Chain A
Amino acid sequence: AQTVTQSQPEMSVQEAETVTLSCTYDTSENNYYLFWYKQPPSRQMILVIRQEAYKQQNATENRFSVNFQKAAKSFSLKISDSQLGDTAMYFCAFTAVSFKTIFGAGTRLFVKA
């Protein structure tokens, strides 16, 4: 069975600093996709970043980047220059060819002014 583990229930960071959220997963699949989603207090789920397992290059989206370690089954999210609007719940997710997505339990991030 595939699993996604986020070991940090809560984190905080000072505005303008950098923070890294951890995610590990377990799968026997070779082709899959990894995602980070953000859920602000509005409750809307928003895609932050996406990584294909066959790509060695780490994905980046503006201030958001990932460190994808396929052998270690690790997929961490780095947020640079943190902003107050980054305060949210962050979910790591895994999708294989079955089109079913498995989510981690989430990390609640607080950005402090």
Chain B
Amino acid sequence: DAGITQSPRHKVTETGTPVTLRCHQTENHRYMYWYRQDPGHGLRLIHYSYGVKDTDKGEVSDGYSVSRSKTEDFLLTLESATSSQTSVYFCAISGRNNEQFFGPGTRLTVL
């Protein structure tokens, strides 16, 4: 357990509403990541952060933004949720040996 929590764990929202997912880590790791998991696609990187206020895009960043104002928190925002963003979202940190440690995931449903 790498001390990673995600909130909320489940969320149902309507198309067009903003949604923010939070990832919190207690390990003081520099690198943090947001992935989405969909059947047939594995995990795909949305955004990642390599330090406070330092973020970059992943392969599926359209429609998502992130912020990292503190080392321990990495926020993922869907500005205007769409049904295609229904997914399971995982936060992760990068360990000392480049492995990823994951949070428990957030299941988001956009109706």
Contacts and interface: CB of A to CB of B under 8 A. Distances in A.
A100 B104 contact: no
B58 A100 contact: yes
B98 interface: yes
Looking at chain B's contact residues, the main secondary structure is: strand
A99 B94 contact: yes
A43 B99 contact: no
The contact size tier of chain B is 20 to 34
Q: Is the interface of A mostly helix, strand, loop or mixed?
A: strand
A33 B95 CA distance: 12
Interface stretch (A11-19, A65-73, A77-85, A101-109): A101-109
Interface of A: 4, 6, 33, 35, 37, 43-45, 47, 50, 91, 93, 95, 99-106
Contacts of B102: 44-45
A90 to B, nearest CB: 10
A60 to B, nearest CB: 16
B101 to A, nearest CB: 8
B99 A105 contact: no
